[in-house]
Amino acid sequence: MAILSQLILYPIKSCAGMGVTEAVATVSGLSAQGVHDREWMLVTPEGQFLTQREYPRMATIVPRVERASMVVTAPGMAELHLPLAQRAGVPTVRVQIWDDVVDAADCGNAAAQWFAEALGAACRLVRFPPGLDRPTSEKWTGGAPSSARFADAYPLLLIGASALGEINARLLAAGREALPMNRFRPNLVAEGTDPFEEDYTESLRAGDVLVRPVKPCARCPIPAIDQATGIPGPDPLDVLQSWRGKAILDGAVCVGMNCIVADGAGGVLRVGQELDIALSF
């Protein structure tokens, strides 16, 4: 029996994840405890998005929810408290994430100063405005509509626990250390599936929510970054290349599947929920 074994949100894009026991599946990703996945994002003063690719120490910036605030911590820093309530009249700034340009809410100078000190580089914190729609590409969805906040491409990323088991077996055979799941930054982790079964899953249902994998997730160097320390280590992509390169993505190394919510948006996902999986063959 396959079950949903982990649910993870990343309230601030490319910063630490926040594991939860239940979350609402929206068309734009997971929501829980008053926050949404990739609702906040760090940008340069010019508005260009920032990730662990440029600043690995972003991994050590950890959000959590306390009552009406999102509390953010980083090594050697005092806590930063950000209000969850969206205020009217907040100044907006134009920001760029890949090819998309979005007018986002600026979170103010105090937050900008805190994150600039945490990263050692000038930056600003922005927030995805309520009511705004950022459609995802329909190239891989067969025309099905979907949207995301500040996620790279699609609202959900699914990985099977057994996929990580096979990755680690190959890394150990190559004399490398095993990696934890957080190196691959999924939203949904399935347990009880065959290794990389998500590659050929047509859909999976958890309660009222139907999730459909639509595109393999091409991996960047982030899996080489220790998510506890923010320190880059050996890049596993060279080992993965030998069998995880996908011709349909020009040979890119792929782990996990980008997904959309195909039906039941607004339904609740829970850790331990049984998954009804339909394969594509």
For position 16, what pLDDT does the model report? 98
Q: Are residues 53 and 185 in the same domain?
A: no
Beta strands in 79-164 (DSSP E): 80-83, 92-97, 100-106, 124-127, 156-160
pLDDT tops 90 at residue 11: yes
Rounded Cα–Cα distance for residues 2 and 272 (Å): 9
Residue 266 and residue 182 in one domain: yes
The total of other beta-carbon atoms located within 10 Å of residue 41's CB is 26
pTM listed for this prediction: 0.97
Domain check: are 265 and 160 in the same one?
A: yes
- Read off the pLDDT of residues 173-214 as tens digits, 9 standing for 90 and up: 999 999 999 999 999 999 999 999 999 999 999 999 999 999
Please give the average per-residue pLDDT across 53-66, as a whole number.
Answer: 98
224 and 153 in a common domain: yes
> Do 55 and 73 share a domain, yes or no?
yes
pLDDT digits (tens, 9 = 90+) for 207-235: 999 999 999 999 999 999 999 999 999 99
Q: How far is CA 147 from CA 10, 33, 41, 119, 261, in A?
A: 16, 21, 16, 29, 10
Half-sphere exposure of 279 (CA within 13 A, CB side): 8
Q: What is the model's pLDDT at position 124?
A: 98
159 and 61, same structural domain? no
Number of domains, the chain: 2
Q: Which domain holds residue 70?
A: 32-127
Amino acid code (one letter) for 141: T
**Which of 73, 106, 127 is at the close of a domain?**
127
Average of per-residue pLDDT values in the chain: 97
Whichever domain contains 184, its CATH number is: 2.40.33.20
pLDDT score, position 87? 85
Tell me: pLDDT of 88 over 90: no
Paired sense of beta strands 188-191 and 156-160, if any: parallel
136, 153 Cβ separation under 8 angstroms:
yes
